Amino acid sequence: MPLRPYLFPITFLLLGLSVLLNLSLGSVWIPFGEIVSGIFSGNWARDSWEEIILNYRFPKALVAIFAGIGLSISGLQMQTFFRNPLAGPYVLGISSGAGLGVAILMLAGSAFGFALSGINSWAIALAGISGAALVLMGVSLVAWRVKDSMTLLIVGLMFGSAVSAVISVLSFFSGAEALKLFTVWSMGSLGALGWSQVGILGVLTGLGLLPVFFSIKSYNALLLGENYARSMGIRPDRMRWLMIGSTGILAGGITAFCGPIAFVGIAVPHLARIVWKTADHRILFPASALIGSILLLLCDAAGQLPGIASTLPINAVTSLVGAPIVITLILKRNFSKDF
């Protein structure tokens, strides 16, 4: 196996740089040196910088890291499990499912004429996760025997549009306030979370990663297909529930908090495969997590237009970056060969 031991240190370095870049960019530019010295010594050149970094940008960077890890790990799990290079939380309608959960929570109250009091972070997370898990179960029931990329994509698209239709119906009947709340959510944002919500997201990410640690070997075996995996003592049905649980919590939780974020889940595992040139999940899982974090940190930084206080919606940026990556991969034709 052509080991490339230098790759992980380099990626960690890139991650550090991305965090610094992400922290320094924004409506106010804060130099790298000031951030480093501020964090390590606790003395900030300006009080406002301390406030901005610690209470606004640092939680946002953490969210970017958690979301990057969660979405890429979900994507990798789904690609291996479905043996389909085009699988991913967004393409398969998981994000739409989470959206439905959140929409029901935010919109249904006003649509049916009663107020759902106490929309707190946990409720949003729970709604997103259950919506995601529900759609994922539906898709995996249909796609279980489907090895063909096109069919799986179409199934995912159908689920996605069915869910969107339900959301449209809900929007039509809901009040202006709730609608605005939901629309802002659906644009996606990493920065709207306070420390307590970041904590919840962290817990969810950890929870979603837990099943992954115990099934790395099974994912490697699943690369040969369900029948071979079974012949090697792996139970694919158990893996299916682990995968649904893990990706539901990861993609669902992240979508609930940050809104739908496209293309990270599908593109990052391929980037990891290309860079590390391996199919071994012991390497691909950490590699995808690292690349996902870096990508999302950079996308978020790119969304911070210099000199303007407002930021681009994160979903728009990841789509602008991710879509060309996926198209390039498809055009290169070794898309599935490199799987």
Partner 1 sequence: MEKFQRHIALEGKELSLGYRKGKTSKEILSGLNFQLFSGEMTCLLGPNGVGKSTLIKAILGQIAPFSGNLSLEGKDIKTFSLESLAKQIAVVLTDPIFPGNMTVGQLVALGRTPHTGWSGRLNEQDRFLVEKALSDTKITYLQDERLSEISDGQRQKAMIARALAQDGQVLILDEPTAHLDLVNRFEIMSLLRDIAVNRGKGILVVTHDLDIAIETADRFWLLNCGTPLISGRPEDLILSGQVNQLLPSDKYRFNLIRGRIELEGDASEFWIEGPQELVFWVKKSLRKAGISEVQGQITIQHNPLFLTYSGQKFGTLEGLIQYLKT
| Per-position DSSP letters for 158-223, written without gaps between them | HHHHHHHHHHHHHHHHS-HHHHHHHHHHHH--SSS--HHHHHHHHHHHHHHHHHHHTTHHHHHHHT
By CB under 8 A, is residue 1 in contact with partner 1?
A: yes
- Amino acid, res. 240: R
Q: Using CB under 8 A, pick the residue from 198, 221, 262, 289 that binds partner 1.
A: 221
Is 281 in a helix, a strand, or coil? helix
Interacting span for partner 1 (CB under 8 A) from 70-78, 165-173, 270-278, 311-319: 270-278
By CB under 8 A, is residue 240 in contact with partner 1?
A: no
Q: Residues touching partner 1: how many (CB under 8 A)? A: 31
By CB under 8 A, is residue 231 in contact with partner 1?
A: yes
Interacting span for partner 1 (CB under 8 A) from 12-20, 171-179, 202-210, 271-279: 271-279
- The CA distances from residue 25 to 13, 16, 223, 317, in Å, are 18, 14, 41, 16
From CA 207, how far away is CA 321, in angstroms rounded?
29
Q: Using CB under 8 A, pick the residue from 234, 262, 302, 326 that binds partner 1.
A: 234
CB atoms within 10 A of CB 138: 18
H-run or E-run covering 248: none
Q: How far is CA 93 from the centre of its chain?
A: 13
Q: Using CB under 8 A, pick the residue from 280, 286, 316, 325 that binds partner 1.
A: 280
* Comparison of 114 and 214: residue with beta carbon closer to partner 1: 214
Interacting span for partner 1 (CB under 8 A) from 94-102, 114-122, 132-140, 228-236: 228-236
- Which spans of this chain sit near partner 1 (rule: CB under 8 A)? 1-2, 83, 213-214, 216-217, 220-221, 223-225, 227-228, 230-235, 273, 277-280, 282, 334, 336-339
